Amino acid sequence: MTIPSGRPRTRFLVVVLALAALTVAGSVSAVTRTTNAQAAVGTLAAAVEDEGADCAVSGLPDLGSLPTNAKLPDPFKKLNGTTITAKSDWRCRRAEIKELAEKFVFGDKPAKPATVTGTVSSSTVTVNVTHNGRSTSFSARVELPSGTGPFPAVVVVGGFGADTATIKAAGAAVISYDPLAVGREGTPRNNKQGAFYSIYGSSSSTGLLAAWGWGVSRIIDVIEQSDGRTLKADAMGVTGCSRYGKGAFAVGVFDQRIALTMPIESGSAGVPIFRGIPGEGAQSLSSAYGEQPWLGDAFGSFTGSPNRLPVDTHEMVAMVAPRGLFIMDNPHIANLGPRSASVAALGGAEVYKALGAGDNITYWSDVQDGSHCANRPEWRTPLQNNIRKFLLKTGNEPGVIRISSRALGRLADWRDWPTPVLADGPTTPPPTTPPPTTPPPTTPPPTTPPPTTPPPTTPPPTGGGCVATVSVNQWTGGFVATVRVSAGTAPVNGWTVTMTLPSGASITSIWSANRSGSTGTVQFTNVAYNGAIAAGQSTEFGYQGSGTGAGMTPTCSAG
């Protein structure tokens, strides 16, 4: 991924509008506070995993009959070609979108197995599953806040998501969930491993993200069956960052018992619209599909042709409606697809608005720190507000759409469908809202012009070679390293960065580079799209590791 040299200090455009204006403008440049009536807090999370399980879904398209459509599919249009007219119609329309998402993107997420048992204590949730003669088990660590339970709880996928100190201080428990015990990374598609595949077979076409979601659903099953004195099954949230942000998003999409979904910097295969990723320069769909079996096997047919998909992630955002959704994003790393993620949020927000729940979605990429998966001060207050509103049920703060001007998506560029006015109950179809009579502006008007990008804090080399610098985001037991490679006064065509990891440290995943190993002295080389660096410019790659990342000193050679 290529990023301008230095740490930008771009001002963000601030426009305060009603969410209804999204229909006309198609996007907002920074802050949008929704004003429609909030759905009743306390009734947003469903009592069951899938409220539309009884809907008769028919007319799913076949792989060979899919037309090409560069615009986002209409979330309000049913498979039979008609548009829903009442809020009550959304339940079965959501069931259609779920079937499309499973068939073409994630693979099937099975319903509750025949037998789920387990225990809940102040330190652990254990899960035991038996289905079709096969059994498996896994567990998750629990950290309770101060006070007297039962407590709402936030599942932290991979132990790596929203600030756990803020979560506990707000009064919610933290459940540290190891998704790799349920769906292991580093396995081939025809030999997937983990608790999910112990039940459904190692050759299952279901990807890891749906498997990880299945695991969280089984944790909720156990909490529902407990005595209710420790954790509240009707006040569950989920969060995760990076690949665990992809997982957190999938958890909230597919289990309607999740009251608050909080993905962070989820990147390709997460929130960003598939159709927008190729044009944004984000991690390619083929790279995301091949890096790990996160997505279902069927998605392999679309890595080079996302316009053939009959579904896109704005509809998965909509599948969370009307429940709480807080999407946190990073506008400084194009590889994460933040512009495409903002389009997904804006498209899904149209469904929230139509359901009368526009106050329940927040998208926030207005952040200054560009480090991947950092705990950002800008998110602390909305995080507290969302926990109070959807888990503690003591707050009523409206959601905001706050998009950085660095990665501003325009919904108007991606849709050719209107947002209907949905009746409160089954009635005769009301007229749909007509499209605007005047075209939306090509760019949103800034209130103040952003300053130019300041010079880099680390000067590029004066000669014709390259230099590398590293920044580390460390947490207990793991870290993320972001490495910047800068060209000097001459362009670079190919680069190699050498770095010695501390004793006990090991690389678990990498993006935007190749590597020679996982421990000790490791050489990182460019991938096809970031080997050429213009004179005075930079590119970045990153990796996640276990152990400590302190004290690493990279060296760079060009060519």
372 is catalytic: yes
Residues 7-66 pLDDT 10s: 333 333 333 333 333 333 333 434 444 433 333 333 589 999 999 999 999 999 999 889
Is the pLDDT confidence value at 187 over 80? yes
**DSSP label of 83:** B
- Per DSSP, the three-state class of 370 is coil
Is the pLDDT confidence value at 285 over 90? yes
- What CA–CA distances, in Å, run from 396 to 25, 40, 48, 401? 27, 10, 24, 16
Residue 90 lies in a domain: yes
Provide the pLDDT for residue 474: 65
Q: Are 499 and 351 in a shared domain?
A: no
Domain final residue pick, 413, 446, 477: 413
Q: Are 506 and 403 in a shared domain?
A: no
286 is catalytic: no
Contact of 208 with 179, CB cutoff 8 Å: yes
Q: Are 391 and 483 in a shared domain?
A: no
The one catalytic residue among 27, 29, 205, 372:
372
- Percent above pLDDT 70 for the chain: 84
Residue 156 lies in a domain: yes
Cα–Cα dist 352/261, whole Å: 14
H helices present in 178-268, as ranges = 195-200, 208-225, 243-254
Residues 398-416 pLDDT 10s: 999 999 999 999 999 999 9
Partners of 327 in the β-ladder: 363
How much is the pTM?
A: 0.74
Provide the pLDDT for residue 181: 97
At 552, which amino acid appears? M
Other CB atoms closer than 10 Å to residue 158's CB: what's the count?
22
Provide the pLDDT for residue 536: 83
> Across all residues in the chain, what is the average pLDDT?
86
Q: Are 47 and 137 in a shared domain?
A: yes
Provide the pLDDT for residue 533: 86
Provide the pLDDT for residue 473: 66
Is the pLDDT confidence value at 391 over 90? yes
- What CA–CA distances, in Å, run from 143 to 178, 231, 262, 337? 14, 11, 19, 33
Cα–Cα dist 166/260, whole Å: 15
Provide the pLDDT for residue 30: 41
Cα–Cα dist 78/432, whole Å: 15
Q: Are 408 and 472 in a shared domain?
A: no
Q: Are 75 and 197 in a shared domain?
A: yes
Of 97, 29, 9, 108, nearest in space to 442 by CA = 29
Of 216, 182, 191, 195, nearest in space to 131 by CA = 195
Provide the pLDDT for residue 535: 86
Which CATH number is 142's domain given?
3.40.50.1820
**DSSP characters over 213-236:** HHHHHHHHHHHHHS-SSSEEEEEE
Nearest 5 degrees, angle CA 138-CA 139-CA 140?
140
Residue 420 lies in a domain: no
Higher-confidence residue of 511 and 159: namely: 159
Residues 447-502 pLDDT 10s: 444 334 343 444 444 456 999 999 776 656 777 787 888 999 999 999 999 999 99
Which CATH number is 538's domain given?
2.60.40.290
Residue 446 lies in a domain: no
Domain final residue pick, 413, 430, 457: 413
Residue 432 lies in a domain: no
Mean pLDDT of 325-340: 97
Is the pLDDT confidence value at 140 over 60? yes
Q: Token digits for 37?
A: 């009536």
How many structural domains is the chain composed of? Answer: 2
Three-state SS across 419-453? CCCCECCCCCCCCCCCCCCCCCCCCCCCCCCCCCC
Provide the pLDDT for residue 207: 98
Q: Are 403 and 472 in a shared domain?
A: no
Q: Are 399 and 484 in a shared domain?
A: no
Of 424, 246, 310, 304, nearest in space to 67 by CA = 310
Q: Token digits for 506?
A: 């090991």
Q: Are 226 and 332 in a shared domain?
A: yes
Of 212, 321, 216, 317, nearest in space to 259 by CA = 321
Q: Token digits for 137?
A: 């088990």
Residues 436-456 pLDDT 10s: 444 444 444 444 443 343 434
Q: Cis omega before residue 491 (within 30°)?
A: no
Q: Are 409 and 502 in a shared domain?
A: no
Domain final residue pick, 379, 413, 447: 413
The one catalytic residue among 242, 284, 405, 486:
242
Provide the pLDDT for residue 4: 32
Provide the pLDDT for residue 32: 47
Residue 497 lies in a domain: yes
- Host H or E run for residue 90: helix 90-101
Is the pLDDT confidence value at 321 over 80? yes
Q: Are 286 and 387 in a shared domain?
A: yes
- What CA–CA distances, in Å, run from 316 to 26, 94, 199, 217? 19, 9, 26, 17
Q: Are 389 and 488 in a shared domain?
A: no
Which residues constitute the domain of residue 490?
A: 466-558
Residue 426's pLDDT band (cuts 50, 70, 90) = low
Residue 458 lies in a domain: no
Phi, psi values for residue 201, rounded to 5°? 100, 140
Residue 436 lies in a domain: no
Is the pLDDT confidence value at 72 over 80? yes
Residues 155-171 pLDDT 10s: 999 988 999 999 999 99
Residues 217-247 pLDDT 10s: 999 999 999 999 999 999 999 999 999 999 9
Residues 234-280 pLDDT 10s: 999 999 999 999 999 999 999 999 999 999 999 999 999 999 999 99
